[in-house]
Amino acid sequence: MRATACLSILFVLPVCLGLGKSVMTITDENWQTVLEGEWMLEFMAPWCPACRQFSETWSKLADWSRDLDISVGVVDVTENPGLSGRFLVAALPTIYHIKDGEFRQYKSGRKEDELMSFVDDKKWQEVEPVSWYLSPGSYQMGAVGFFFKLAMKIRSLYTMMTEEYGIPEWGCYVIFAIATIMTGLILGLVIVFLCDFVFPSRPSPPSNYMYDKRKGETNKADDDDQDIIDDTKDSHQNNIPPKEVSEESQKSKEEDIPKVVDSPKSQTRKRNVRKAD
């Protein structure tokens, strides 16, 4: 009787205390449930030794979740690569505290009492929340998660090609390289098409090279005519024909040139030569 009573007490006591809540499995499909309420979320992998050792402590925290008024979840990154990219998980196990869509990474001790104190004493308020551009609920982090999922699918495809179909590794690399190039070309064409559609090109104006050249020749001819007109005006003002003006200017230039005067010695030499003749 005593043994039965003790067993019944041990079985009923956790229920009375509000214990016995299990860890909730979070996947790519239901992860948005963590955006409401208060959560402690662990990222783990079955092959991780540290995760296996920590699993018992995490289960004990889940047993106290009703008393702490929180929810406790776990994410298997091997089955949900999109969440590991969305939360930028770089080490295992990684723990996040989530309060009404506000994310904080837990970096304190991994003992049961330290985890409970972090929640019960509201020590999470001392931790700086994740920046908005790195928030797992943002669109950009959703894109990162998509690429993580795509990488895992490519890895699964590579495994299937090598193991099931017997394609050598270099053959797989060649196939992936061709697929990457073709995908880049298609995306490039789509982007160019969208840019032309959103920002259509404007017709270019006609070339002004010939026009400018002709304009330059016309200006040069106008300058020559203007010079002739100016010379004509000057000649009319002085009552001298244009030809006379040019002749007088030539004479003035000749007068400005110094004349060479023969020295007496040269004259004497010339006279001597005449006497000899």
- State the catalytic residues: 48, 51
In order of 212, 214, 217, the CA distances from 208 in angstroms are 6, 10, 14
3-state class (DSSP) for residue 14: helix
Cα(204)–Cα(206) distance, integer angstroms: 7
Please, which residues have CB within 8 angstroms of residue 136's CB and are 6 or more apart in sequence? 83, 86, 87, 103, 130
Cα(189)–Cα(11) distance, integer angstroms: 67
CB 105 within 8 A of CB 95: yes
How does strand 94-99 pair with strand 102-106?
antiparallel
Closest CA to 33 of 81, 108, 83: 83
Cα(208)–Cα(83) distance, integer angstroms: 60
